[in-house]
């Protein structure tokens, strides 16, 4: 059966309308690229590469010379990500956002750094260094994580492949080996449109998730599902898992406002059954494309246009973040197909008949 997004199955989440693609690339200029690795690493097929890399670029230009406003928010910090300290200190994103598996953080950081240095020969010479942002989830149930199949070149390839097209979702890129709520998880997307001033102005908010958390029991308490059917996935030995949430918007907000919006992603995560367990890294990276900030400037001041927070638009953006996160997680489940991996393990796709219409 062809895997479908939630709305293609006749199920809607929330009240706000989605963008035309219902994915993060509805935010103008955002580029997404995947590299998927799925093949045996040993002749007996006991060890597998079942992993990958996903690249998120806020725009198609030079991200170091034209930075965007960004932030992160950590609900539960069981994770090995890089770049968040400076991201939150300065509120500026100057590299692609990269997603991968836990042990691939060094390789993906190196590959992304090499890519940025190639584009910016002034880094480390006539100007300072660059802050690379990489997030991760643990895919070791299906992926032979100790064999570290992800290499620096895979990060560069994911960046080069990035486009503004409708995002491929499910068991692709960084999501290839992920398990979510006891079924096959991975990459999921959704978007929302927020209209103000009597339909004169519309902002877009898009969400991409890397889902790798939770149990079937949690999923089946969620009111969009029926019955108590459990599949024999055999993931009881899996760790608590994690989720990386990437939020993009074209709304004119600063990093503090953006973090307020990012916090509402936790509402959407909770609606799917998550309680953010002890060993789960539940993290949001958010950015706004409303303007770029030049790395080099002779000016002592810079001008920003910001939304007023006491207007209804901020509440609508909060709602958009919650709705888009919830739907993106569900899309990661409905789009992901059954995958096999290391030690003869298989994780099954979510059966559509469990969904309430």
Q: Catalytic residue positions?
A: 242, 280, 282
Angstrom distance (rounded) from CA 211 to CA 170 = 9
Tell me the C-alpha to C-alpha distance, in Å, between residue 93 and each of 132, 227, 342.
9, 44, 36
Give Cα 212 to chain centroid, integer Å: 11
Angle between helices 255-263 and 312-335 (to 10 degrees): 50
29 with 291: CB under 8 angstroms?
Answer: no
């Amino acid at each position: 059966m062809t895997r479908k997004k939630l709305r293609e199955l006749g199920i809607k989440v929330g009240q706000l309308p989605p963008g035309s693609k219902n994915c993060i690339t509805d935010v103008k200029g955002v580029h997404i690229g995947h590299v998927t690795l799925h093949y045996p690493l040993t002749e007996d097929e006991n060890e597998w590469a079942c992993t990958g890399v996903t690249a998120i670029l806020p725009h198609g230009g030079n991200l170091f010379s034209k930075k965007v406003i960004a932030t992160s928010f950590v609900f539960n910090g069981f994770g090995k990500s890089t770049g968040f300290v400076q991201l939150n200190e300065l509120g500026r994103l100057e590299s692609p956002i990269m997603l991968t598996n836990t042990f691939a953080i060094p390789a993906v950081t190196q590959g992304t750094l090499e890519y940025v240095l190639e584009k910016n020969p002034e880094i480390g010479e006539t100007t300072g260094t660059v802050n690379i942002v990489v997030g991760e989830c643990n895919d070791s149930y299906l992926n032979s994580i100790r064999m570290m199949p992800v290499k620096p070149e895979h990060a560069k390839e994911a960046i080069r492949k990035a486009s503004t097209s409708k995002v491929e979702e499910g068991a692709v890129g960084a999501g290839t080996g992920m398990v979510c709520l006891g079924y096959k998880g991975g990459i999921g997307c959704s978007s929302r449109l927020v209209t103000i001033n009597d339909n004169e102005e519309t902002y877009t908010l898009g969400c991409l998730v890397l889902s790798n958390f939770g149990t079937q029991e949690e999923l089946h308490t969620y009111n969009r599902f029926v019955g108590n059917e459990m599949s024999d996935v055999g993931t009881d030995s899996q760790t608590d898992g994690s989720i990386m949430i990437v939020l993009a918007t074209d709304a004119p907000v600063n990093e503090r406002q953006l973090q307020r919006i990012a916090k509402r992603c936790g509402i959407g995560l909770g609606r799917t059954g998550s309680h953010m367990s002890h060993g789960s890294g539940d993290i949001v990276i958010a950015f706004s494309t409303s303007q770029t900030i030049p790395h080099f400037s002779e000016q002592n001041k810079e001008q920003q246009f910001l939304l007023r927070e006491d207007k209804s638009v901020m509440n609508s953006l909060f709602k958009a973040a919650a709705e888009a996160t919830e739907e993106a997680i569900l899309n990661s489940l409905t789009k992901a197909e059954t995958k096999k991996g290391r030690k003869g393990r298989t994780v099954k796709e979510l059966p559509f008949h469990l969904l309430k219409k």
